[in-house]
Amino acid sequence: MANISASMVKELRERTGLGMMECKKALVEAEGDIEKAIDDLRKASGLKAAKKASRTAADGVVRVKVADDNSYAVVVEVNSETDFVARDDNFLGFVDTVLAKAFADKQADVAALMAGDLETAREALVQKIGENISVRRVVVVEGAIVDAYVHSNNRIATLVSLTGGESELARDVAMHATAQNPRVCKPEDMPQEELDREKEIIMAQPDMEGKPQEIKEKMAVGRVKKFLAENSLVEQAFVKNPELTVGKLIKEAGADINGFTRLEVGEGIEVEVKDFAQEVAEQLKG
């Protein structure tokens, strides 16, 4: 049987809002797999989609540079180990240097970008600051009209590419995506495996029990459609004017959206969280 730690139960509680014993039981049955436990809980209780995991392996910043003619833009994510270093002027100066070179070269390959002087500068900064520094991601977006939005904490940024329209429109859509975090641009962009997983969860929920298959199918179609609307950029209610969807906003401006890129510092990476007293004890042993 998997060892279920208190921190795992705590994370599941935070992400689902369910009770401690219910979360612990779900984790035991899922053999410690938090994502599987969430799926099982959704099937059993009709729980809505859970919050995403908040644990991240790295701190750092994202930075954006947009061409004067809005024909392309670049976003970079550079990681540090702590928030303290992420605010350090030496670190931020290095980030700006990385961004400037990526922008000048239109280079999205991190290894190619860092080869030579930038890698030397990174190594020197690591020696000076005493923390690992890494350039994690670089994205170049080109299009008829490209603009960007960076959240005030410098941890989330979005680039949007439009065909037609003005840069201000692209910036507004980027701001919306930064705030609302859609999973895909358009409903048809949602991977089939995601749709299949969502339908499986819906079909297993308590209010489906005992209903004829055709009724269950009709209900599932409606709920999958709602899932797509909630997670597709063009179907979401625009944050500045909820009476408009983002898609309608773009259409009314005589434009179309090519796509968006949203980066959030440290997303998709987990970090081991140690008890402070335990960490000190381990260091004393060493």
Predicted confidence at residue 277, as pLDDT, reads 56
- What is d(CA 76, CA 102) in angstroms, rounded to the nearest whole number? 8
Tell me: do 93 and 136 sit in the same domain.
yes
pLDDT tens string 221-257: 888 888 888 999 999 999 999 999 999 999 999 999 9
| pLDDT at 256 (0 to 100) | 96
Mean pLDDT in residue range 247-274:
85
DSSP line for 42-72: HHHH-PPPPPPP---S-EEEEEEEE-TTSSE
Percentage of the residues of the chain whose pLDDT score is greater than 90:
53
pLDDT of residue 175: 97
Query: For 85-136, what is each residue's pLDDT tens digit?
Result: 999 999 999 999 999 999 999 999 999 999 889 999 998 998 888 888 889 9
170 and 147 both lie in a single domain = yes
> Considering its fold, how many domains does the chain have in total?
2
User: Does the pLDDT at position 43 exceed 80?
Assistant: yes
The pLDDT assigned to 285 comes to: 56
Tell me, yes or no, whether 175 lies in a domain: yes
**In-domain check, residue 248:** no
Which structural domain, as residue segments, surrounds residue 104?
59-184+256-264
Task: Judge whether 87 and 144 are in contact, CB under 8 Å.
Answer: no
- What is the band of 284 on the pLDDT scale with cuts at 50, 70, 90? low
Burial 112-128 (b: 16+ CB within 10 A, else e): ebbeeebeebbeebeee
**Taking all residues of the chain, what is their mean pLDDT, rounded to a whole number?**
87
- Whether 277 maps to a domain, the answer reads no
Does residue 192 form part of some domain?
no
Instruction: Kindly report which listed range (205-214, 257-266, 272-281) carries the lowest average pLDDT score.
Output: 272-281
**What pLDDT was estimated at residue 57?**
38
Supply the pLDDT for residue 64.
Answer: 98
Does residue 251 belong to any structural domain of this protein?
no
For 133-158, what is each residue's pLDDT tens digit? Answer: 889 999 999 988 999 999 999 999 99
pLDDT at 280 (0 to 100): 52
Same domain, 70 and 162: yes
Q: Quick one: 150 and 16 in the same domain?
A: no
Residue 40: CB atoms within 10 Å: 19
Burial class for 162, CB neighbours closer than 10 Å (0-12, 13-18, 19+)? buried
CA distance 284 to 95: 35
Q: What CATH number corresponds to the domain at position 27?
A: 1.10.8.10
Does residue 43 form part of some domain?
yes
Better pLDDT: 277 or 243:
243
The pLDDT, as a whole number, for residue 286 is: 47
Q: Which range is least confidently modeled, 16-25, 159-168, 223-232? A: 16-25
pLDDT-derived band at 282 (thresholds 50, 70, 90) equals: low
Whether residue 162 is predicted with pLDDT greater than 60 in this model: the reply is yes
Lowest mean pLDDT among 14-18, 79-83, 213-217, 282-286: 282-286
Identify the CA nearest to 66 among candidates 264, 266, 267, 261: 261
Q: What is the reported pLDDT for 40?
A: 87
| Residue 169, pLDDT above cutoff 90 | yes
SS3 of 80, please?
Answer: strand
Q: Are residues 84 and 126 in the same domain?
A: yes
